[in-house]
Amino acid sequence: MARQMIYDALIEHAKGHIKKHSANVEIYMEKAVGVGEHPDILEAIEKELMIIAQYHDEIEVLEKYIKR
């Protein structure tokens, strides 16, 4: 039971971060002018995409090698 709870928590944690960073990308793309602290929007989006890819990879590893 604890194993399942930990597995589920890891998956949900990664999914939450993917949603968070996906929202950031959407904001950058929709409201690029209003994001003053990020003058290089493309670089900021690339950083967000790298973070999304990291969490996506974590989910894939969990599902492929750890399994429920």
Where does residue 60 rank: exposed (0-12), middle (13-18), buried (19+ CB within 10 A)? exposed
pLDDT > 90: what percent of the chain?
A: 76
- What pLDDT does residue 1 have? 86
Provide the pLDDT confidence category of residue 67 given band limits of 50, 70 and 90: confident
Q: Determine the pLDDT at residue 35.
A: 59
64: three-class secondary structure by DSSP: helix
Decide if pLDDT at 55 tops 90: yes
Asked if residue 52 has pLDDT above 90, the reply is yes
